[in-house]
Chains A and B, each alone.
Chain A
Amino acid sequence: MATSMFFEFLLDSLPKLLDGLQVTFLLTIVAILAGFLIGVTLALGRIYGNKIISGICIGFIEVIRGTPLLVQLFIIYFGLASIGLVFSPIQAALFGLSLNSSAYQAEYLRGSIQAIPSGQMVAARTLGMTKIQSIGTIVLPQALRISIPAWSNELIYLFKYTSIAYLIQVRELTAEGQIIASRNFRYVEIYLIIALIYLIFTFIISEIVDRAEKRFHVPGLGVPKRASWLRNT
């Protein structure tokens, strides 16, 4: 019957889809972490750097945010190859997604840093802390906490948008589904299954991040819920 046929199909496709899911996870985790490190650097450079450093950071952030992710991936994968810089699909995707996410994370963090009252920095400097110590022990720990909701959105965004990597031949979840569907033409079923997998893990990720948010919560440190400057997911 229809349902048993569906489950048979599901079981047959599952191993390949799980292979793809692993690649999706790899892309997501590397991009969120590398994007975080680069993003923190960009945000600090933009706020505290001299004119030149700040200008470079702003330029990078604006170029990334002003161009589509797909175009960025094409440039890295096809464009750079034409000048002799050859990346494998997965390398190009890891690189592109990390850079892309770093620009967004930098902007979320910048918003948070600028929301910290200036008196916090003044009080730290008054104790005799250097500027770097004040940023590291007073400003950043607060800014990172209030960035958690934005960061959680970014993680979920990334998890779903890694699917774009399929267009540069990365065999992540969506690509594996596409391959299966092109063999047996059962597009509706396979895409429903894929959508369900994304949905389940999106839910799990939100739950984990919510717990992290509670774990790091400090009374009185405002956590703006779902601020309007988040990118749409």
Chain B
Amino acid sequence: MPMLDVKNIHKSFETTEVLKGISFSMEKEETKVIIGTSGTGKSTLLRCLNQLDPPDEGEVWLDGEELTNPSIDINRIRQKIGFVFQDFNLFNHLTALRNVSIGLEKVKQLNKEKARERAMDELKRVGLEKQINQYPAQLSGGQKQRVGIARALAMDPDIILFDEPTSALDPELIGDVLDVMKSLYGKVAMLIVTHEMGFARNVADEIIFMEGGVIVEKGPPKQMFQSPTKQRTKEFLGRIATLYGAE
């Protein structure tokens, strides 16, 4: 049984159907990258997984529990699904340290001291031991995003969902964030929406290409980049190579 099982997800906003039957699964500690054009429903899919936007149809299973079952305690489940946002969404009134420890205190019910220690460890892990007492407004974009990753990691999630984690960053800051993500490879499952093709090629176990609300093609990076079977995949990869520079 896979750790995460997504079965035939449909989602509409008013009259437009954004997701038209998405299915895939992930094993423990696997890393998958989702690519696709803008407006194709990648963010919507991530939000359907942790039930921020519950799907209209289909099922999401994590560790043998059905998240789409309305009677499940979704707050308990969300602890197991980290989320890293494009625009960081750090808590503006809290220091980096408190950003990471607050979930441990309020959700995991750790005492202040334990939560603090754990938060310190996570911030060290992402290379921010010097910034623990800084507020979000005093951090660079790359630092903010690393706090965001530490905040997700601290909850001991089974999987972390990344929604374009480097898209809001200046080019010279992207590397730091990608390095942190690389260092998590094999330690926690990651489902990453990104346009960083170099990263996708080097790190992903599988690449999922989405277009028009469906998965057009998926496969290991080598196959996807060298011999995609679908014409649309070829076109998209060709376009992205000219946009972001081929490697």
Residues of A within 8 A of B (CB): 117, 119-120, 122-130, 133, 137-138, 141-142, 145, 218-221
Q: Is B137 an interface residue (CB 8 A)?
A: yes
Q: A137-B102, A218-B135, A220-B136 are in contact. Are A127 and B151 (CB under 8 A)?
A: yes
Q: Is the CB of A129 within 8 A of B106?
A: yes
Residues on B with C-beta less than 8 A from A141 are 93
Q: Give the contacting residue for B91; candidates A125, A133, A138; CB below 8 A.
A: A138
Known A-B contacts A126-B50, A220-B135, A220-B136; the reply to A119 vs B106 at CB < 8 A is no
Closest 4 CB pairs of A and B: A220-B137, A127-B103, A123-B89, A119-B89
A157 to chain B, nearest CB (A): 27
By a CB distance below 8 angstroms, the chain B residues around A120 are 89, 91-92
Q: Enumerate 25 A-B pairs (CB-CB under 8 Å) in ascending A order.
A: A117-B89, A119-B89, A122-B85, A123-B85, A123-B90, A125-B52, A125-B78, A126-B52, A126-B82, A127-B102, A127-B103, A127-B107, A128-B75, A128-B76, A128-B77, A128-B79, A130-B75, A133-B106, A138-B93, A141-B93, A145-B93, A218-B93, A219-B135, A219-B138, A221-B93
Query: Could you say which of B79, B81, B83, B103 has the most chain A C-beta atoms within 10 Å of its C-beta?
Result: B103
Residue with the highest number of chain B CB atoms closer than 10 Å, among A123, A124, A130: A123
User: Does chain A have a CB within 8 A of B87?
Assistant: yes
A129 vs B76: C-alpha distance when bound (angstroms): 9
> How far, in angstroms, from A58 to B81 measured CA to CA in the complex?
37
Q: Is B155 an interface residue (CB 8 A)?
A: yes
Interface positions of B from 31 to 87, Cβ below 8 Å from A: 50, 52, 75-79, 81-83, 85, 87
- In the complex the two chains form, is B75's CB within 8 Å of A119's CB? no
Which single residue of chain B is at the shortest CB-CB distance from A137?
B106
How far is it, in angstroms, between the C-alpha of A141 and the C-alpha of B92 when the chains are bound?
A: 10
Instruction: Give the shortest distance, in Å, between A78 (CB) and chain B (any CB).
Output: 46
Q: Chain B's nearest CB lies how many Å from the CB of A160?
A: 32
Alpha-carbon gap, A137 to B98, bound state (A): 11
User: How long is the Cα–Cα vector from A129 to B106 in the complex, in angstroms?
Assistant: 7
List, in ascending order, chain A residues with CB within 8 A of B137's CB: 218-221
Measured CB to CB, the nearest residue on chain B to A134 is B106
Picked from A128, A137, A220, the residue with its CB within 8 Å of the CB of B138 is A220
Q: Using Cβ atoms and an 8 Å threshold, which residues of chain B touch A124?
A: 91
Q: B79: nearest residue on chain A (CB-CB)?
A: A128
Nearest-CB residue, chain A, relative to B75: A128
